[in-house]
Amino acid sequence: MAKNRVIVEFPKKLIFIQRGLFQILVSLNAPPGVSQDEYSAFCAQTVNYLTGMGLTEPGDKVPPDMKVIIKRIQPIIPEQSRQMMVGANKEFRQIVVYTLRMRFVVNQMLHGVEWYKTVEGKNIEGLLQQYGAEFPEQVSAKMFDEVVARVFNQVNSLKTHGTN
């Protein structure tokens, strides 16, 4: 029963975490000379990359000018994401690592060990090899719920302090 709950609840929690990480990154403010649209696209692509989705193609609903921005910044996302993880606080890195681990666990439950061979599986494994050693604990549903709560608190703190 707990396994099914994890599988059912995880997609919503993943989206919440991705939106929360996006809000946290956007709150840092765009560097000088970078438009808000470019910075928003950069933050979205960074979150997608750091949560194991890889570099995502813009969807049909994305305006053409934003598609151009996304395509232009995609080549720098892996290196910029690495630099962001190095410069981020421990809590941000922990959120990313536990999110990746939970994605790994849920996809293994859904698809078995063959999932490891997919592009998504390899992306997540590569990110975990880079950043996972700092947080050696195995992820559990309870631990992941705590991560979701921390993201919730950080986003609320941003709203309370008038940032974004």
Residues 14-66: pLDDT tens digits?
999 999 999 999 988 788 888 989 999 999 999 999 999 888 778 889 899 99
User: What is the tens place of the pLDDT at every residue in 59-113?
Assistant: 889 899 999 999 999 999 999 999 989 988 899 999 999 999 999 999 999 999 8
Domain ranges (residues) in the chain: 2-156
Contacts of 5-13 spanning 24+ positions with Cβ under 8 A: 5/141, 6/105, 6/106, 6/109, 6/141, 7/106, 7/109, 7/110, 10/102, 10/103, 10/106, 13/144, 13/145, 13/148
Q: Phi/psi zone of residue 138: left (φ > 0), alpha (ψ -120 to 50 degrees), beta?
A: beta
**For the chain, what is the mean pLDDT?**
90
